Structure 1
């Protein structure tokens, strides 16, 4: 099984021997890869929709993994019992949905050793939710695929260090590691905002333009703070 760059990065956050619930499995690619590579000891592929789950089931059969990967129709973690698995994956969905899955399935989440999360939006909201609920983001990665940027994280139970605003938005672990993909993303975001700011500066008579410029100026300041992590000499 050849995974996309995004899915490969997600799968790489799973530790060897883990028992895994893949929420929103879609085609079942991650469960298949985890079993093929002998990374997971057990995988349950979950999806709320019957169509994607059937596609996953057919792919599992096609890779001769029937009996090794179980498929379940499930709204989030609803079809998983506490203690059945020690790791969950929620990848390729909005941040609000990731939070809902964690909240609705909190009894299962309490029994997990780790959560592998790859929200497609509102990543800062996910980070804040996790830290507010005594979960620590111990590792993060970010990949670029087809011009889009995908952050992902490995989370365990425990108290986390304090976060600054830019660390909530862009990822404390990514910034600490000086992740090169994040650096590219930050430069792109700064360039976009500089262009919008310049365009708006031609319309300073508009109250709406002034308000927008104030917000963009603040955004640029936060991005610049994040880029400051990349200016620290590694030997200092």
Structure 2
């Protein structure tokens, strides 16, 4: 196998790759098989790449694939936890994709000293995107773009942030910050074509929770039921605007 071989990456990874500026030093944390940075390298757009993996199996898979594709001089595969695999001032762009929002924020929190020189974060939480947005807002990263991509019938949110005024994206006026953290301020601003579908999925999830709570009898469950009913009404108001 060599770098001339034709192969395809998922629509999700192609979309993430599109948010990586040309000729940057890029770290892909939890890069698994190194597909993302290999794709950018094949396009001739990668200055230097680092793939970080915490587990030995995926680390060895990524290392072997990079070697087989002929990109070992361009992409360094490292074994380690989170952002500990990079040194301060070593990269311009950090990608963290395919994890839960809680894990992404923990990785960012534990590696904050590695982010001082970073010009862009490209984050793709599988769940808990609101946690990621809240972390960015509280740590002076401005969301410059968001999108939703549908891949194998699953909707994925991608959040792109750069150093700046963390709360500037939330000065919408039509929705409060709490709702925008859940929905995505840029997704809402540009009325993303897949936003209604995403909100409908989450609305259905809230309806399921409500049905479960209707069978409960404790005071705590009744209180939670009222909260969920309120959330559903708020969700319906937002969906009506799309």
* Superposition TM-score, scaled by structure 1 size: 0.87
Preserved CA contact (<8 Å) 1:170 1:226: no
Aligned to 2:141: 135
Of residues 123, 135, 158 in structure 1, which corresponds to 2:164? 158
Aligned to 1:172: 185
Matches within 5 A, 1:51-200: 51-159=57-165, 160-161=167-168, 163=170, 164-194=177-207, 197=210
SS across alignment from 2:44: coil
Shift in Å, 1:209: 5.8
Preserved CA contact (<8 Å) 2:143 2:169: no
Shift in Å, 1:79: 2.4
SS across alignment from 2:22: coil
- The 10-residue stretch of structure 1 (203-212 or 93-102) with the greater mean CA deviation from structure 2: 203-212
Matched, 1:7 2:22: no
The runs of 4+ residues in structure 1 deviating greater than 4 Å are 194-201, 203-209
SS across alignment from 1:78: helix
Q: Which runs of 5+ in 1 are unaligned?
A: 231-236
SS across alignment from 1:220: helix
Shift in Å, 1:35: 0.4
SS across alignment from 1:83: coil
Distance 1:104 1:206, change over 3 A: closer
Shift in Å, 1:186: 1.2
RMSD value over aligned CA atoms?
2.2
- Count of residues in correspondence between the two structures: 229
Shift in Å, 1:189: 2.7
SS across alignment from 2:73: coil
Shift in Å, 1:176: 1.0
Matched, 1:18 2:24: yes
Aligned to 1:211: 223
Shift in Å, 1:135: 0.8
Of residues 40, 44, 53 in structure 2, which corresponds to 1:47? 53
In 1, Cα distance between equivalents of 2:119 and 2:217: 56
In 2, Cα distance between equivalents of 1:173 and 1:190: 20
- The 10-residue stretch of structure 1 (21-30 or 207-216) with the greater mean CA deviation from structure 2: 207-216
Q: Which runs of 5+ in 2 are unaligned?
A: 1-6, 171-176
Distance 1:25 1:200, change over 3 A: closer
Alpha-carbon displacement from aligned partner over 1:9-40 (angstroms, at most 9, x marks no partner): 21111111221011011111001001011222
In 2, Cα distance between equivalents of 1:93 and 1:223: 25
